[in-house]
C-alpha cells in the first residue's frame, strides 16, 4: 500500500530541509555524516521534490510542492492521504500570506477527512513574534476545533533537526 503525504507552504519556509531531515532520520544516517548533505543556502523549489520511505506497512511518499506551485496544490490534494503545511516562525512579514494560503488550502474539498499537520519551522531563530503570537494570528485554536483529531500542530527546526522525530512519527501514524 502506498501512502502519499503532501508537504506544502510558502517559499523559504524549509520544506526541502524537512523532507531531507525526515529521510535522514528514517534511514538512520549518522548526524555527523548528514551535516554535509544539508545545503547552507537553499533555493526555492520550482516544481516538486519527492522521496519514498519504505515501511513494513507499505511505502510512504513525501511530495513537496514549492510555494510558487500553490495554484497546482488543489489537484495534488486529491491523491494525498495527509498534509503537512510548513510555516517559517521567524518571519513575521510572511505570516499574513502564510495564513491566507493555509486557509485557502484547507477550504478545498479534497482536504476533507485528511490528517493535517501544521509545522512551525525555524523555532531556533528568534523573530519579533513569539510562537504563541503566530498561533493566535493563524487561528490555530479555531482550526483545531474545526478539524478535531485530524489537526495537529508541532514546531521545531529542520536545520537543527529538532521536532523531526515527532513529525516522522505523525506521518507513520497516519
Percent of the chain with pLDDT over 70: 89
pLDDT at 75 over 60: yes
User: Residue 172: what pLDDT?
Assistant: 93
Over residues 6-25, the pLDDT tens digits come to 999 999 899 999 999 999 89
User: Residue 2: what pLDDT?
Assistant: 87
- Asked if residues 137 and 100 have their Cβ atoms less than 8 Å apart, the reply is no
Cα end-to-end distance, the chain, whole Å: 13
pLDDT at 32 over 90: no
User: Residue 29: what pLDDT?
Assistant: 61
pLDDT at 47 over 50: yes
pLDDT at 146 over 50: yes
User: Residue 19: what pLDDT?
Assistant: 92
User: Residue 44: what pLDDT?
Assistant: 64
- Asked if residues 65 and 7 have their Cβ atoms less than 8 Å apart, the reply is yes
All three cell numbers of 21: 531531515
Instruction: List all residues 6 or more positions away from 92 whose beta carbon is below 8 Å from its beta carbon.
Output: 127, 128, 129
Residue of 167, 174, 169 whose CA lies nearest to 18: 167
The pLDDT mean for the chain works out to 87
Phi, psi angle pair for 144, to nearest 5°: -65, -40
Amino acid at each position: 500500500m502506498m501512502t502519499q503525504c503532501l508537504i506544502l507552504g510558502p517559499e523559504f519556509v524549509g520544506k526541502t530541509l524537512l523532507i531531507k531531515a525526515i529521510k535522514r532520520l528514517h534511514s538512520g544516517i549518522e548526524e555527523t555524516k548528514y551535516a554535509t548533505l544539508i545545503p547552507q543556502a537553499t533555493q526555492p523549489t520550482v516544481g516538486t521534490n519527492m522521496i519514498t520511505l519504505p515501511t513494513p506497512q507499505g511505502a510512504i511518499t513525501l511530495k513537496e510542492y514549492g510555494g510558487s506551485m500553490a495554484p497546482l496544490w488543489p489537484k495534488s490534494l486529491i491523491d494525498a492521504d495527509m498534509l503537512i503545511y510548513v510555516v517559517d516562525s521567524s518571519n513575521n512579514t510572511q505570516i499574513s500570506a502564510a495564513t491566507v494560503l493555509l486557509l485557502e488550502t484547507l477550504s478545498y474539498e479534497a482536504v476533507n477527512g485528511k490528517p493535517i499537520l501544521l509545522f512551525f519551522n525555524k523555532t531556533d531563530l528568534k523573530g519579533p513574534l513569539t510562537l504563541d503570537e503566530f498561533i493566535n494570528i493563524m487561528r490555530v485554536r479555531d482550526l483545531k476545533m474545526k478539524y478535531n483529531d485530524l489537526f495537529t500542530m508541532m514546531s521545531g527546526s529542520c536545520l537543527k533537526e529538532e521536532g523531526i522525530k515527532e513529525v516522522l512519527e505523525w506521518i507513520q501514524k497516519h
